Amino acid sequence: MDWNKILEFARGPFFNVALLVFVAGMVYRLVRVVSLGWSPDRVPARGSKAKGVALSFLKGILIWPFIPWVKGTFKRNPIIYLAGGLFHLGLFVVIILGTPHMLVWKSLLGIGWPTLPLPIVDWLAAGAIVAMIILAINRVINPVLKLISGPAEWLNLLFVFLPMVTGYMMTHHLFFRYEVLYSLHMLAVDVMLIWIPVSRISHFMFYFFSKAIHGADFGKRAVTP
């Protein structure tokens, strides 16, 4: 098998198609939801909606819920909080502050930025991979997650896991030749990009809706969101 050809395909035409599907799919999802209509809220407010929204996002950015003593629920469900938090942290650092990924962004957007040293990125990537495994195990054990998990939930985990694990192997030249790992990594990324718009991984977009709604609903009642 000519892995160089596969690599060329995976990072060339297939990547472009996947990217197009991703962008078009997400735009479709956004338009579909927004076009369902928003009835105006005529309830007279007691407090400031804007302040509520701002606080809601601030708490989200400051990862408020992950501060152990803030939420009682943390005590009861530390696995989802810690593993979920670690996974997202690792993911964001790797795809934004990892040098190879920054270069991809640069080629797409035309601008680059400073990145973190490889060892830091590498440890966080490893952490994210371990976190995903823990989340997967938890999904099998936790009775609520067992009840609400169907094939889609498992595919979400798989399609995010594959790019991460192949990327990690690539950095460390594990088991296979470099071009093989690179090809597998790119194929996995392409599949994930196509999967995102049809799955709940797209929550990163609707996060901004639900967080804003939460902030506004609490803010107008003069309650801390």
Partner 1 sequence: MEAQAQIAIDTFLRQTGGYVASQLEACTRCGMCAEACHFYEATGNPEYAPVWKIELLKRAYEQRFTLVGRAKLAIGVDKLITDDELLQFSKIVYEACTMCNKCSMVCPMGIQLGPLIHEVRAGLSAAGMVPQDLMKAVNKQLEEGSPLGMTDEVYESRMEWVADEWEVDLPMDVKGAETLVVFSSIEVMKFPENIAAIAKILHAAGEKWTLSQAGREVVNFGFYEGSEERTVLFLKRIFDAAVQLGVKRIVVTECGHAYDALRWTSYNLMEVPPGIEITHIVGLIGEYLRTGRIKLKEGALDGRTITFHDACKIQRRGGHIEEPRTILGILAPHSFRELSPNREESVCCGGGGGVIAIKEADPVRYAAFELKIQQMQRVGAQTVAMSCSNCRLQFTDCVQHFNLDVKVAGLSQLVADALIEE
Contacting residues toward partner 1, per CB under 8 A: 29, 32-34, 36-39, 41-44, 46-47, 56, 60, 65, 71-73, 76-77, 80-81, 84, 142-153, 198-200, 202-203, 206-207, 209-211, 213-215, 217-218, 221-225
Nearest approach in angstroms of CB 39 to partner 1 is: 6
**Maximum separation of any 2 CA atoms in the chain, in Å:** 68
Nearer Cβ to partner 1, position 92 or 206?
A: 206
Nearer Cβ to partner 1, position 120 or 223?
A: 223
Tokens of 112: 């680059």
**CA–CA distance, 82 with 65 (Å, rounded to integer):** 10
CA torsion sign, 72 to 77 to 82 to 88?
Answer: negative
CB contact at 8 A, 69 and 92: no
Nearest approach in angstroms of CB 182 to partner 1 is: 30
**CA–CA distance, 217 with 49 (Å, rounded to integer):** 7
From the list 57, 31, 17, 12, the residue with the least C-alpha distance to 214 is: 57
CA torsion sign, 199 to 90 to 20 to 212?
Answer: positive
Nearer Cβ to partner 1, position 59 or 185?
A: 59
Nearer Cβ to partner 1, position 130 or 155?
A: 155
Nearest approach in angstroms of CB 155 to partner 1 is: 11
Nearest approach in angstroms of CB 28 to partner 1 is: 8
Nearer Cβ to partner 1, position 43 or 109?
A: 43
